[in-house]
Structures are given as C-alpha cells and as structure tokens.
Amino acid sequence: MLKEMLFNKIEEFMEEMIYVRRHLHMHPELSHKEIATPAYIANYLVDLGIEVRSGVGGRGVVGIIRGGKPGKTIAFRADFDALPIHDAKNASYQSTVPGVMHACGHDGHTAALLGFAKAINALKDQVQGNIVLIHQFGEELPPGGSRAMIADGCLDGVDAIYGAHLQSTMDSGHVYVRDGYLQAGEDTIKITVNGSGAHGAEPHKGADPILAASHIMVALQSIVSRNTDPLKELVISIGKFHAGDADNVIPEKAVMEGTIRVFDEELRTLASVRLTDLARSIGRGLGCEVDVQIERGYDALWNHGAQMDVVRKAAADVFGSDAVVETQPIMPVEDFSYYLQHVAGAYFFVGAKMEDPKKVFPHHHEKFDFHEPAMEMIAKTFAGIVLDYQK
C-alpha cells in the first residue's frame, strides 16, 4: 500500500534528514548571498535522479518528480536562508560562520523537504501527478525570494502549493492550522524630524526635534486606539530612536524607525496615511519639518480554506485528530504569501518545542534550536497531502 510504504521511507530517511539539517546549520548563508546552500540542495536532488533547475529567480532551486500516473501538479516549498545572528547555543552542530546562524528553522524546512522528496521519488511510479519542490532563497530579507521565483516560472502548471514552518515555542507533536489570515503584512517606517539646534540651556532659540519626535511617537498609538476597528489587528512599533550626541545640545534632527504589522489592506493604507499626517502636523506645530518614508514589505498571508482542509485531513490521518490544532494568526511576516496570491494553497505550523525547557527559545534568538523529530512531521504531512490527491 502506497501510504504505508511512503511513511516507512520517511522514517527510514529520518537519520539522513537530521544529518542534512545539522550540515546546513553548521554552514549557514545570509539572505541573497546563498551560494553553497543552493548548490548542496541541487546536488542532493540530482543524485536522486530528480529533474532540477537551478538559479531560479536568482538563487532558487526547483525540482520536479513526475509521477507514473496522470494527476494534479502539487508544489511544496522550503526556504534555506539564515540570519545575521551569532550562534550562542552549546551544540555539536553550532554554526561555523561567525555572526551567522539558522535561527528560524529554515535548515529544518530544507531537510524535511529533501527527505520527503527522497521518499516520494523512490515510489514515484505509484504516484498520480507531479510533485514540484521549491527551495527558496532570501525569505528573511525583503524583497524576499518568492516573487522572483514566481516570475521565473516556479509555479507554472502548479495546481496547489503547500508549505510549513517549524515553531520552537509551540508544543511538539502538533500541526497548527488556520483558514484565512495566518501571518501579517509589514511596512517599515522611517521618520526624520528636522529642527534647529540650540544650546540645552537656551531651548527657546531653536526648534527641538527630540520633543517633536517624542510627541509623534506617543501620538502614533492613537492610530491603533482611535482610528482602528477594535476587531481588526494593527501594531505600530518604533524600534529605533536616535538624536544628538551631547547632553547639553539640542540637535538638528531626530530619526525614528519602526514597523507596521497589519492584516487588512484597507487598514494598512489608513495606517500609512494617518501616520504621515500625524507626524507632519505635530512637527509643524512644534516648529519642525518632518519627512516620512514608508516602505512596503511583505503582504499578509491568506490561507485558502479548501487547501487547508487538505492539510487538516492529512495531519489527522497520519497523527490523529488530537494532533491538529486550530491556531491564532501571528504578526511575524512570511513571503509565502505571494505563492498564495497566484495559486490555491495553504501554509501551516508544526510544533517543535525542545523537550528541555532550558533550551526553549523564540525564533531569531541566539540560542534558537528546535526538536528535530518535527521534521518527520513535516515530511509525513506533505506525504499525506500527496495521498489526498490520489484517486
């Protein structure tokens, strides 16, 4: 029976998945600078006899497994870029690259997709339809890699696409699903307040950009509390604030940088317009000129209900219905959103919390790690999705 053989193959390849994950973890590469990683992935697939196209969209790798029987073409995606973070955990597979580490699980995503690919490829003559393997670069750093890969044809002929993200703070042994919005959209903010300098003892002789910027920062929260439907999510946060170099000098300017996180597109536009108006008007009222720059980041990720039902069924069939958990949307962003704007599909989370509570850290933390058996859950859920498309 295909189901049993497929799952047995995945279990058989689990040790290899761990090896691949740890190799990638020890040799991370930053977004849009990946060279060895895509070469490693391409060589792995070629060695399996899988048809491969490299350099997709720049640095992406796409493999295709052609089933022995006609059917749908289903794509699965994994990202493979790392982050500019020093790896501070004590592990045999600690990063060997100073200041760079896989702190978000992309090494695990890649290893899981390769293990899944090896299992499917071994049984491809029994599979209906084609399986497209999308290995994506640059997810962590806008403009990302998905749009470039889509423009280069990675979704050509694809009927549906699926992806998964390991979650280090979610309980292991569970698959987390949600229809509709799962992850927020993001815009970055830079507000420059230009005043006129003065001695700190004679503030009346200048226009204080620190005072104006402080009022602006506080007023921005009124967009959330007074301009936003309380049933819709919006976050506006300032993460950087710089002004001046001396304690007794009022500087010429103050600069703030931050982020907008939002799901609804109309609210996204309102937030940008209102932020700009508030900043400029407050600045003028305090004798300063304000320049506002808002750079559009990734769009919000919207899951298609029918395809998420496929994930629910696949996970329940493999792990039992108790393992499938309906989750709330989260504010971190993900450029998988663009695949879902082109074809139907779904993105889900897999719990990967470490068994030792002292080793549980959030994503993008210098001691980030995840429970490696979660990779098997990704691979088996992908396999269950393929089985759902078999007649």
Q: Which residues are catalytically annotated?
A: 81, 139
Placement of tokens 């920062």 in the chain: 217
First to last CA, the chain: 14
Q: Which two tokens stand for residue 271?
A: 């937030």
d(CA 259, CA 271): 11
3-class DSSP assignment, residue 334: coil
Outline where 164-253 has alpha helix (H). 209-226
Torsion, CA 118, CA 120, CA 121, CA 125, rounded to 10? 160
d(CA 271, CA 282): 16
3-class DSSP assignment, residue 159: coil
3-class DSSP assignment, residue 119: helix
CB 89 within 8 A of CB 366: yes
Report which DSSP code applies to 330. Answer: B
CB 128 within 8 A of CB 69: yes
Q: Which two tokens stand for residue 131?
A: 């399986």
**14-42 b/e (C-beta count within 10 Å ≥ 16 → b):** beebbebbbebbbbbbbbbebeebbebbb
Adjacent-strand bridge partners of 259: 188, 237
